[in-house]
Amino acid sequence: MNLRKRHKRASAEVHTSAMNDIMFFLLLFFLIASTVTNPNVIKLMLPKSSSGQAVSKKTITVSVTQDLRYYVEKKEVAVDALQATLEGYKNIANELTIVLHVDRTVAIQDVVQVMDIAQKLNIKLVLATEPK
């Protein structure tokens, strides 16, 4: 004999179809936003490094492209005017650090040339790399 009462229990259901639409639109938004905000306008293939360090806040970017074009803060500069341009930045900030972005196909002599200019001006220099 079964003495328990049988009640029809309401089943709990969660409708997630609207949640899927919202998540899809959020994913699409962040994918589009991440491709638009690219800080490096100059396309370079940087060498890879397993150790990386943060640099100070008073930094300027010097880039050397594959065809030996020199850029200081995304403005093209002739090789002869590079030292004068960096001196102008040194006058603005005392403790200055140069972040040197060099394409991996550029000869080491061109990199050393920029390093020599930084050494003459007593400016710290950091070579930018990509993580492995």
Closest C-alpha among 82, 48, 90 to residue 62: 82
CB atoms within 10 A of CB 96: 20
Mean pLDDT, residues 98-112 taken together: 91
Burial of 90 (0-12, 13-18, 19+ CB in 10 A): middle
What pLDDT digit, counting tens, does each position of 38-88 carry? 555 566 676 776 666 554 458 889 999 999 999 998 899 998 999 999 988
Give domain 48-131's CATH architecture: 2-Layer Sandwich (3.30)
Residue 3 phi/psi, 5-degree rounding, is: -95, -10
75: helix, coil or strand? Answer: strand
Residue 125 phi/psi, 5-degree rounding, is: -130, 135
Assigned token pair, 57: 């806040």
Model-level pTM?
0.57
